[in-house]
Amino acid sequence: MSELRFRVKPGGRLTGEVRVPGDKSISHRSIMLGSLATGVTRVKGFLEGEDSLATLAAFRAMGVAIEGPDNGTVEITGVGLHGLRAADEPLYLGNSGTSMRLMSGLLAGQSFDTTLTGDTSLSGRPMKRVVTPLSAMGAHIDTTLNGTAPLVIHGGSPLHGIEYDMPVASAQVKSSLLLAGLYADGRTCISEPAPTRDHTERMLSGMGYPVQREDNRVCIEGGHALSAIDIDIPADISSAAFYLVGASIAPGSDLLLQHVGMNPTRTGVIDILRMMGADIEVSNERDVGGEPVADLRVKYASLVGVEIPAALVPLAIDEFPAIFVAAACAEGQTVLTGAEELRVKESDRIQVMADGLATLGVAAEATPDGMIIKGGAIDGGSIDSHGDHRIAMAFAMAALRAHGEIEIHDCANVNTSFPDFVAIAAQAGLSISASNLDATA
């Protein structure tokens, strides 16, 4: 059995211009909502990573005609809200928690039964957080005793709207309930304890579906229709985050990141890095299909440790592996609290990052809901990414400030979100190579 490993030589800087792949969250939603719309939805900038391709394959299996992807272009001939048909076999969603949680809501309103499965990592992730509120809407969904996949969603159950106060800020839970709300009798309203990404609401509105938003509350009523649109997906700020950190920590760096999505529910990483002293310039701001987009120029800067404000945590939840690397290179101490959600991502990102940083000689202490990192020198070493794409990419960037080579194990899942990471990183100046090695060696 082979294993993909990264080897990254120490030092270097990031320069030039880079456009990272399309936003994964928006790519998922373009397939889901495009399939439920009337007409042909044309998508540019679609992320051809394993997660979004799993969503695409699932909707093809339910009878939707989808052309592409061809260089990021996809055409979806929508079947309307009630045009999906039962797949011939369980829908395998790989490593994609977004696919499984959002589709649980969407499929709860269908007339047929569906089984959703995933890989080992996804099969260990908590699904009760969507199953419980969906059950309150009238859905019938079976899980394992631990509340995990496979999920068996029993169709034909009439759904009704609910008022739901989310205990934890989660865009996936919010979106799952909104998608179920398309099929529910009456009004579904979700209140969130802190802002989370709002791509679902924006795309629903763009497709002509009425969505009411006020402060931390969003409401939707069943019975309306979706109309096909053209979607130009911006570059994913979660993927750009690795380059923002890499250029910030590597002396001599001056990097332009093009066409980056600047949705205000996603820009916490920029706010946190700027608090630490990062030099990030935003230019060419524009609106593309309802999503704000800009170019980001980032130069090397001396960073300082900070206490990360609680309000920024949900706005940067996927970017913390990269932010932890920035903290390791900062002068002083960085403290993160209120981020227990990181423990139930593709890996336990708090523990895995703390262990990896410690391997590289960084003083990093995992806490129940975050981490305390004291910046200092970074050594070389061997890191286990635990199959988590964001862990692997974060430690690759750490090599820019390391005193020795960093080897990162179990990197195949980088393909879930950033298939060309190695080539683009090397083009920008990172001394990185990838190889398939015998895992037993």
Same domain for 312 and 212: no
Same domain for 184 and 97: yes
**Per-residue pLDDT tens over the stretch 113-163:** 999 999 999 999 999 999 999 999 999 999 999 999 999 999 999 999 999
**Per-residue pLDDT tens over the stretch 373-432:** 999 999 999 999 999 999 999 999 999 999 999 999 999 999 888 989 999 999 999 999
Same domain for 73 and 54: yes
Same domain for 115 and 33: yes
**Per-residue pLDDT tens over the stretch 169-208:** 899 999 999 999 999 999 999 999 989 999 999 999 999 9
Same domain for 267 and 138: no
257 vs 436, more confident = 257
Same domain for 242 and 110: no
Q: What is the pLDDT of residue 417?
A: 87
Same domain for 226 and 273: no
Examine the residue annotation and report whether 318 is marked as an active-site residue of this protein.
yes
- DSSP letters, 273-300, are HHHTT-EEEEEEEEEETTEEEEEEEEE-
Same domain for 307 and 214: no
If pLDDT is split at 50, 70 and 90, which confidence band does 289 have?
confident
If pLDDT is split at 50, 70 and 90, which confidence band does 439 have?
low
Tell me how far apart the 2 most distant CA atoms of the chain are, in Å: 61
The domain tally of the chain equals 2
Residue 441 has pLDDT above 50, yes or no: no
Planar angle of CA 369, 50, 260, nearest 5 degrees: 70
Question: How crowded is residue 398: how many other Cβ atoms within 10 Å of its Cβ?
Answer: 29
- Cα separation of 381 and 404, whole Å? 7
> Do 328 and 373 form a contact (C-beta atoms < 8 A)?
yes
Domain boundary among 232, 253, 276: 232
Q: Which H or E run includes 79?
A: strand 73-79
Domain boundary among 198, 232, 266: 232
Domain boundary among 232, 247, 282: 232
Residue 344 has pLDDT above 90, yes or no: no
Q: What is the pLDDT of residue 437?
A: 77
Same domain for 199 and 186: yes
Same domain for 352 and 249: yes
> Do 256 and 295 form a contact (C-beta atoms < 8 A)?
yes
- Cα separation of 39 and 109, whole Å? 21
- Cα separation of 81 and 87, whole Å? 16
**Per-residue pLDDT tens over the stretch 48-87:** 999 999 999 999 999 999 999 999 999 999 999 999 999 9
> Do 172 and 102 form a contact (C-beta atoms < 8 A)?
yes
Q: What is the pLDDT of residue 290?
A: 81
Q: In what order do the strands lie in the sheet with 406-409?
A: 381-384, 406-409, 2-8, 432-438
> Do 249 and 222 form a contact (C-beta atoms < 8 A)?
no
- Cα separation of 337 and 344, whole Å? 15
Per the prediction, the chain carries an average pLDDT of: 96
CATH number, residue 368: 3.65.10.10
Same domain for 129 and 259: no
Set 23, 318, 384, 388: catalytic member: 318
Task: Determine the structural domain holding residue 303 and report its residue range.
Answer: 2-22+235-438
Same domain for 282 and 429: yes
Q: What is the pLDDT of residue 307?
A: 98
Crossing angle of helices 50-61 and 97-108, in 10° steps, is 30
Residue 250 has pLDDT above 60, yes or no: yes
Q: What is the pLDDT of residue 173?
A: 97
Integer angstrom CA distances of residue 424 from 11, 235, 243, 296, 428: 17, 13, 10, 16, 6
> Do 66 and 90 form a contact (C-beta atoms < 8 A)?
no
